[in-house]
Amino acid sequence: MRTETVLPPRHHTGGRGRRVFTAVATTLGTVVVVAVSVRHAVVFFTGGVGTEVWPHQGHHRDMVLITVGVVVALAGLLLPGAPSAPRPPAPSRPAAVVALVVLTSALVVDVSKTATLGFVLPGMREEYGLSNQYAGMLPVAGLAGTVLGSLLWGSLVDRLGVRRTLLLSTLGFISTSICGSMPTFEGNLVMCWLMGLAVGGLMPVVFSALTALVRPSQVPAVGSLIAGIATAGGYLLASQSAALLAPDHGWRSLWLVGAFTGGLLLLVLPLVPGTCDTAVRGAPDTALSSLAGHRQHRLHTFYGFMAGLMALGVLTWVPTVLRSSGAAGGAWEGLLAGQSWVALPVAVVLALALRHSAPQYCARVLALGGGIALVLFGLVILTGQQGWALTVSLTATVLFSNAMVASVVPMSSIHYASSIRGRGLGRIAGASKLGGLVGPLALATLVGAPAGFFVVSLLVGSGSVVAGIVMGARRPRHGRVGAS
């Protein structure tokens, strides 16, 4: 009769060493990045160096130190983790609410950086002597960074978990605040692209964590509300920063203040519970092949692209079209100026609708309504009508397009297995930002005249209608992409 020798279990000393290295490298890199970035901003705001001779001689040293700190933190955060710990208990209701506030704050930071682009451009054009066309490369660089960031961070959150990815993104946001010290416009383009890369992927990270904090049936409603709050809050943060800082400290202050806002966000990140990590890393990673070829994923990606194309691509040219058509003054000026404020009440109404209706039905209504409203708005511009027809068609287009952007990622988050949720949502968020990036560039030659804008509205509106028709045509059999 054979006997087998039972060996004692091995102690994973390598796992302990990895944990120690991860903790030391992450802490050291984080301290260096935050300390140098905050000190750099303090010197600027307190007048340690006159703003008329900024950037000062020490900014090259600070850039080197920040780069070293980021590399050290990356080495710690990207190292494969130690053997997995037991699954932490589900957070209490108060802890979940606090975590939702922290995640919403992260999205506010994301939106505020994009909104800040419009406030820094006037001062930057004046200082560097730029033409409007060349200065327009700044938002292009920033949006291009956000597109890639959505794909990158969506993939990282599946691998690293929510908390590590949030820390990494926050460090990127803090470190790129030194964008305010770039001596050349080309340097600003590079740093703006890096800033977009750092914060552009917060949306898939936040909504991956959301599935661990609320019931699946509540994710679309709560997520749409968070998106609306973040849009309004981000614009408020950017506009108030510009009003308080720019008159005395110039446009550079709007970037350098990011060291403080990012530092505050860093302080509250520990309030995000560990269950958010296990929610996105707990399932076996066997569904990735289903992501690339799954019909529902392709439909959501197309829907996201059309939402971005309408809200950020077409509406960017509305002021130009209105001026060229002879419309001056009126309610549309205030409406366009307050687009971000409109997002909050729209999100509240949308959240209530999602609590009582299927996400696919709401998505179809939004896309159909937005497409029809855009076509009617183009027809109003073509015929030169004024008054209520112009106001109603423009208002409907703004409302529907903002609702589409606010809802596309939350409504899609429930359709992905946990192991691929970050990647799936990252691609959808990236598609919406890609629509906002290529829209103004691709449509620039068509929207200069009312007839050209009508053609654009007809094409884009038809695409939105198609997205609405096919969005809810067929649900996944098991409700989730990649679910076994």
Per-residue pLDDT band at 36 (split at 50, 70, 90): very high
Most confidently modeled range among 10-19, 292-301, 348-357, 468-477: 348-357
Nearest to 312 by CA among 227, 437, 177: 437
Residue 132 predicted with pLDDT over 90: no
**Adjacent-strand bridge partners of 481:** 416
Q: What is the pLDDT of residues 325-340, one digit of tens each?
A: 665 554 455 555 555 5
What's the start-to-end Cα distance of the chain, in Å? 43
Separation CA 328–CA 326 (nearest Å)? 6
Helices 202-210 and 421-442 cross at an angle (nearest 10°) of 140
Spell out the domains of the chain, with CATH numbers in brackets: 16-80+96-281 (1.20.1250.20), 288-471 (1.20.1250.20)
Residue-wise pLDDT tens digits, 193-231: 988 888 777 888 888 888 788 887 788 888 888 888 887
The CA distances from residue 383 to 215, 331, 377, 450, in Å, are: 49, 19, 10, 8
Residues 6+ positions from 121 with CB-CB distance below 8 Å: 135, 138, 139
Q: What is the token pair recorded at 64?
A: 């080197």
Region 179-191 average pLDDT? 86
CA 204, 339, 450: angle at the middle one, nearest 5?
110
Residues 6+ apart with CB under 8 A from 143: 114, 196, 433, 436, 437
Extract the tokens encoding 417. Answer: 């297995």
What CA–CA distance (Å, rounded) separates 256 from 191?
A: 12
Measuring CA to CA, which residue among 315, 429, 302 is closest to residue 363? 302
Whether the CB-CB separation of 414 and 223 falls below 8 Å is answered with no
* pLDDT tens column, 51-91: 554 565 667 788 889 999 999 998 888 876 544 555 666 67
Mean pLDDT of the chain: 78
